[in-house]
Amino acid sequence: MMELIEEFNEGGVFMYAILLLSIIAMGMIIQRMYTFFGKYRLAEDDVTKAVLQNVEANNYSRALQICNAKAHPLTNVLKAGLMRANRPEKEIRRAMEMTAQEETARIKKFTGALPQLSNVSTLLGLLGTIRGLILAFSGMGGGDAVKRQEALSKGIAMAFRATFFALSVAVVMILCWLVITSREKRLIGKIEHSGSLLIDSLAVKNKKTLGQ
């Protein structure tokens, strides 16, 4: 453990900046992973099917019960439409679109920051690399051969450690970002599809009611 700490310290001051950045990013990643794989875990297709079946049966109260059973972006959007089931299609669509915008903002929370943090990590690693090279070559100007060799080794080691650590952190951030964004796109796609189905169903029901 002490050897690992010593090697980390040999990477220079930028190692601590990269470490702090990685801790911040990891907090965001954990929060997003918990949200998508825990909090937002839902059989979206089954919920949508159940809601639409109850709408067809004019059982709006049961459809609302299904939506109220779990707090989820999809159920919140469907609920916004069901609450205005007897209103004109334009009003239903507007309410659902507004709710969808709010939910989309929550779904995408923190995600856009991860690529930026990855870039910052890479730049910090580059700064650490340049600093190490400066120390390496500045130590070549004087002293005996042994001291020059030590300065060169220390500077090169600092440069490589900073580069390796920064790129490792950046790669992990990007991989996690890819997983999170794929879940985002999937969920947003489900919301848009289910919302369209509900709007069409309510519009048809309202037209039949007016026709009667």
| 3-state secondary structure (DSSP) of residue 18 | helix
| 3-state secondary structure (DSSP) of residue 71 | coil
Those residues whose C-beta lies under 8 Å from the C-beta of residue 118, and which sit 6 or more positions away, are 25, 169, 170, 173, 174, 177
pLDDT reported for residue 140? 66
For the chain, domain boundaries: 2-206
11-15, 83-87, 95-99, 188-192: the lowest-pLDDT one: 11-15
User: Are residues 114 and 25 in contact, defined by beta-carbon separation less than 8 angstroms?
Assistant: yes
pLDDT reported for residue 133? 83
Amino acid at 5: I
Which residue blocks in the chain are alpha helix, DSSP H?
Answer: 2-10, 14-34, 44-56, 60-68, 73-82, 89-107, 113-138, 145-211
Model pLDDT for residues 114-154, shown as the tens digit of each residue: 999 999 999 999 998 888 888 777 766 666 666 777 777 78
Dihedral angle, C-alpha 17, 121, 104, 102, nearest 10 °: 40
Model pLDDT for residues 156-208, shown as the tens digit of each residue: 888 888 889 999 999 999 999 999 999 999 999 999 999 999 998 888 877 76
Question: What is the average pLDDT value for the chain, to the nearest integer?
Answer: 87
Q: Is 141 exposed, middle or buried (0-12, 13-18, 19+ CB in 10 A)?
A: exposed
Name which of 27, 16, 25 is nearest 161 in CA terms: 16
pTM: 0.82
CA separation (Å) from 28 to 16, 34, 107, 139, 181?
19, 10, 13, 41, 13
